[in-house]
Structure 1
Amino acid sequence: METLEPAAVDRALATLDGWQRDGDTLVRELRFDGFRDAIAFINRVADLADAADHHPELTNVYARVVVRLTTHDAGGITSKDVDLARAVDEVVAP
């Protein structure tokens, strides 16, 4: 799988809610009402990641979760990262 050109990443970021580029990674920080809500979110993302066979880096401190997406095999951001970011957005959409 090929990495996306910077312009393609920028176009994708314009359509994603709250995501930013950090080098070769897409990053989104989310805050929840409490620890249980944060963990429930992580569990939902785990299901999406397994289904996509593409696993993000997830960090959690109490009610804060940071999602980091990159395609290690490709050495950067690919369409798999953008697709999973969109799926994550759907999980947190009201």
Structure 2
Amino acid sequence: MKKLTEFEIELRLESLPDWEYYEDALHTDLEFGNFKDCMSAMNRIAFECEALNHHPEWTNVYNTLDITLKTHDAQGVTELDFALAEAINKIVEVE
């Protein structure tokens, strides 16, 4: 998988306003109504991660979920990271 350039990443981020690019990775933080809703979203995201065989770095504290996406083999952001970010957005917009 080819690492995207910073220019390519910034262009792609225009369609993902809740995501940021820094430290060679995509980042977002999500807030839910409660812990149960956050865990439900994490479980739904986990199935998508398995389907893509791509796994985020994430942390959960009560009703918040911080997600970092990076393709470690490419040492940066790839199309796979954007595919997962888009899938995550679809999952959480339903919540």
Which residue does 2:88 correspond to in 1?
88
Structure-1 residue corresponding to 2:27:
27
CA–CA distance in structure 2, aligned partners of residues 12 and 91 of structure 1:
19
**TM-score after normalising by structure 1:** 0.96
> 1:22-60: CA deviations, max 9, x gaps?
211100100000001110011011000000000001110
RMSD over aligned CA atoms reads 0.8
- Say which SS state the counterpart of residue 55 (structure 1) adopts: coil
- Check if 1:7 corresponds to 2:7: yes
**Aligned residue type for 1:19:** W
Q: How does 1:55-70 map to 2 (within 5 A)?
A: 55-70=55-70
Q: Secondary structure at the match of 1:93?
A: helix
- Give the match's secondary structure for 1:18: coil
Does the 8 Å CA contact 1:17/1:89 hold for their aligned counterparts?
no
Aligned partner of 2:36: which letter? R
Matches within 5 A, 1:29-44: 29-44=29-44
Counterpart in the other structure of 2:54: 54
Maintained 8 Å contact 1:35/1:63: yes
Percentage of pairs with the same residue: 37
1: distance between equivalents of 2:22 and 2:16? 15
In structure 2, the gaps of 5 or more residues are none
1:17 positional shift: 3.4
Matched positions, count: 94
Distance 1:81 1:16 in 2: 12
